[in-house]
């Protein structure tokens, strides 16, 4: 079929402008959807990694204290929030004190090293073990050979609690 200008209609090979626009629109919608899904997966992955990191921090802090109690010659709990142990540090026995302190407006679980003398506890500088602590509890259980270690801490949205029982001697 020909019109007055000599152009043919009906059997043209190729795509019309409408077909090209439709294909580009479908491609754009699929690309945007795919990018949104990837973005959600990435955000959820980062959130999960942060939560797991906070959980691991608490677990490592409790395990560290647990290990020091297991190696201790003397375990003393002057109050429910303080633990003092005479234990090995870098190959020699020293006093260690675990307690909550505040630095820059943040409550932290700290550790202070004391003297090597069993009679003199004289603690020095504090080292932070974990930040954003809400509470730490140490308690000798009924038979006095077991110590309960409990820490509560939080990140921005969640509160974590870890407990572990260590045997003394």
pTM summary value: 0.72
Query: Model confidence over 45-95: pLDDT tens digits?
Result: 988 888 888 888 888 999 999 999 988 888 889 999 999 999 888 888 889
Q: Is residue 30 very low, low, confident or very high in pLDDT (cuts 50, 70, 90)?
A: very high
Angle 115-150-52 from CA coordinates, rounded to 5°: 105
Q: Using CA atoms, how far apart are residues 85 and 69, in angstroms rounded to an integer?
A: 7
Question: What pLDDT shows up at residue 107?
Answer: 92
Q: Using CA atoms, how far apart are residues 36 and 132, in angstroms rounded to an integer?
A: 34
Nearest CA to 150 out of 58, 55, 78 is that of 58
Question: What pLDDT shows up at residue 117?
Answer: 85
Question: What pLDDT shows up at residue 80?
Answer: 92
Phi-psi region of 5 (alpha: psi -120 to 50; beta: other; left: phi over 0): alpha
Return mean pLDDT, the chain.
Answer: 86
Contact 169, 113 (CB under 8 A): no
Q: Using CA atoms, how far apart are residues 162 and 61, in angstroms rounded to an integer?
A: 9
Nearest CA to 69 out of 8, 10, 148 is that of 148
């Amino acid at each position: 079929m020909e019109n007055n200008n000599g152009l043919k209609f009906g059997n043209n090979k190729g795509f019309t402008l409408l077909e090209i626009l439709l294909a580009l629109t479908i491609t754009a919608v699929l690309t945007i959807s795919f990018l949104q899904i990837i973005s959600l997966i990435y955000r959820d992955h980062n959130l999960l990694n942060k939560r797991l990191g906070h959980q691991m921090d608490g677990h490592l802090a409790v395990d560290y204290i647990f290990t020091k109690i297991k190696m201790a010659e003397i375990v003393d709990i002057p109050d429910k929030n303080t633990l003092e142990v005479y234990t090995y540090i870098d190959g020699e026995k020293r006093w260690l004190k675990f307690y909550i302190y505040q630095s820059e407006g943040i409550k932290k679980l700290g550790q202070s090293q004391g003297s090597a003398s069993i009679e003199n506890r004289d603690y020095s500088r504090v080292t932070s073990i974990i930040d954003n602590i809400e509470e730490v509890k140490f308690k000798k259980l009924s038979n006095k050979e077991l110590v309960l270690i409990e820490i509560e801490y939080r990140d921005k949205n969640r509160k974590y609690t870890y407990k572990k029982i260590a045997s003394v001697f």
